[in-house]
Structure 1
């Protein structure tokens, strides 16, 4: 019998794109919180979950991931990837979220197929995109972008060779709290069309990742600029003009051991 967790299905399971969880992640993140016209959030937030509050966050991340055996760390082409995560704060309907104020992820972009499928299995709607972000290094040097007052960080996302997001951060030297999915539970959607009924659409089921063993370096705070660009396919610009309210940068690690239903 095949031993694969995901396709391709082989007797050994070795070539499966994704191995079974737990999945361990460690990464460098630049986070930009923003405000927008809450009424426009209805285009990206399912009505059955709740309503957008007019607040959101973009996370630019440079990740390294592995399973329990850590073998990906010895072959980092399987471990490393960058992504941009967009989450919107929602006032959840009764029975949807605990606490009632949580986040929904309508859009997320990644540059690695392994991460793409891991995301789909968790309810994160990942697509392929190219993320760049300034790295901070533990050096006092002009090119190191140390986590100190005055350091400047940049980040961008391009999808299908078109720029979708631009951000810049100037660190203040002060500590910051958690932002976005770092601060509150985040809901995702999972669903697949059935090609035996090719005219039908997928019916999404909502869940959240089962995250344990979170560690953080602490977050360096700052101010930011943020811009969403029009795109012929991607719908991020439906949120209209956005105002960056605060920003942070730092390192974190988490373990995903599965997913939970909203009432779990």
Structure 2
């Protein structure tokens, strides 16, 4: 445990697994009270249990961020339970890929835009409206992707478009609201040690061998490494960092 975020409340969406869970655990280890959000209760409860095992404080809230009412309810829950909303990490997202754009199903397009873009917009709006009323303001980190603005892969047109939109939305919101004390940035992970980076039927060992030849670093990023970048941007150490898009991708976009 450290004290970097002691007395602050951090909200993390998509916190039931992967980068979201690692980020929630890292904030708790930094002394924050953590609100973990997602669409399914059981994995959120597991995240809370992991935090509490190490002496942290956490609250699980089931929510679908693509619904405005849910995004607003998340902010209310954080404030009602812990007294403030000081940090928000908009990590919830989905990937529907594997097909060229001409073969992309409309449902897959709409699902990715609804959650990855509209969900971030709705969450941002609710979070900013609260943070700008607080004397200390707040910080927000959106999770984009290196496949948004930084690199291209076949079969991921909708996902890439949605994550590029997150990066653009981040910069626009950062400019709009920094004068109100709300500091907003983004992190763009590449291949990370989560199920999303596994090809169909691929084992973790097989993924490791594949990326050893594909990525300049020779391995995928650990979820804890992405979380560390998020915590930096949310911390006072990054007080003058506004509207940046920090790429964490083992050199994959070089």
TM surpasses 0.5: no
If each structure's strand is expressed as a fraction of its own residues, which one has the higher value? Answer: 1
If asked which structure has higher relative contact order (CA below 8 Å, sep 6+), I would say: 1
Larger radius of gyration: 1
Q: TM-score when scaled to structure 2? A: 0.28
Q: TM-score when scaled to structure 1? A: 0.27
If each structure's helix is expressed as a fraction of its own residues, which one has the higher value? Answer: 2
